[in-house]
Amino acid sequence: MRQRIAMLDCARGIAILGILLMNITAFGLPKAAYLNPAYTGSISNGEAWTWAVLDMVAQVKFLTLFALLFGGGLVLLLPRGTRWTYSRLLWLMGFGVIHGIFFWDGDILLDYGLVGLLCLGLIRQAPSERSLIGTGIVLYALGVGLLLVFQLLLGDQPPGRFWLPDIANRVYEHYWQTEGGPEAWRERLNLLHGSLLVMASQYGWQLAGAMLIGAGLMRNGWLAGRREPEHYRRMALWLIPAGLIINLPAVVAQWQLGWDYRWCGFLLQMPREISAPLQALGCVALLYGFWPRLADKKVFRLLGNVGRMALTNYLLQTLICTLLFNQLGLFMAYDRLQLMAFVPAVWFINIAVSALWFRYFRQGPLEAVWRRLTRLTGSLTPADAS
């Protein structure tokens, strides 16, 4: 049991740190830069190559990895009872609302809590792990397919401010991001509303699919590490190259097209979304396949610490980055390549804080608050009360 938990914690730590590779762009640049590296109409070779590498190895991949692990975690929560688990997810949504309005507009906690609530019933009632995985694949494919629908409906429309913002939009975004206060809260509330619409119309299907796949893989023991290391190594050998091969043509095509909205806004996003679960599962398989050799390595114990307090570390990244870019005025001061220099420093803080915290405490600070709040509103099982 300890080995299985350590493997999951390590994978979760990798996901949390990996998410920052993309989030640093969202912290330091306008929202349009997240998907369109040529959001100003031009781009340097350094920025283009940075975008290409990140698109291949990070974009969507670590979010999908986290969603798979989140779905697997829901299975582990089932013995605590339905009311307890619902309460836990509702509190996560509450954290997400506060985070998304008052701190940063790139919140994922609300999405994960809401979709987790919707998936929980399917996970509880599924007759087998195969049905969970099958349903997850169908939902994920539906979400990807909706991008094609949007391409047909919206591909010929002029690009909006979230793809190619004009100077006025960029100036205004700089203003409310750095000034803060009610103006920023209002803008983040509007963005949160838009994010929920996107989740309901497209992304939420993929997120639900990934969670259900993760839940099924936890039930059949794959995500719990119950296969032989050789099995996981073989899976990694197939999954990771397959994901890269699927994603590469779209990266090349977007670059050649100059990130033209007509083709890159929806259609050429699809290969990345298809490749993401393959690469995410390949990452897990690679870790599990070599876990007997890695378990005693200090670096992987440190990554496990990060995963044990994933909520705290996710929000700590927000506090650090909003301090740097919003409060200290570094927003839009660096390009995509230059922003990568901040990532190792934030990782170091995540790792150091986690290691120091677990010298004195058994649970992360926000994880402890989350648990206490859940106890207030959810029924306790004897195991939870002990």
Residues in the chain: 386
pLDDT of residue 385: 37
Q: Which residues contact 211 (CB under 8 A, 6 or more apart)?
A: 67, 68, 70, 71, 74, 115, 116, 119, 136
Q: Which residues contact 2 (CB under 8 A, 6 or more apart)?
A: none
Domain regions of the chain by residue span: 2-378
Query: Which is nearest to 40 in space by CA: 211, 173, 167?
Result: 167
Q: Is the pLDDT assigned to residue 2 strictly greater than 70?
A: no
Q: How does pLDDT run across 263-321, given as a tens digit for each residue?
A: 999 999 999 999 999 999 999 999 999 999 999 999 999 999 999 999 999 999 999 99
Q: Percentage of residues in the chain with pLDDT exceeding 70?
A: 97
Q: How does pLDDT run across 225-263, given as a tens digit for each residue?
A: 999 999 999 999 999 999 999 999 999 999 999 999 999
| Residue 363 CA, distance from chain mean position | 22
The pTM of this model reads 0.94
pLDDT of residue 386: 28
pLDDT of residue 5: 76
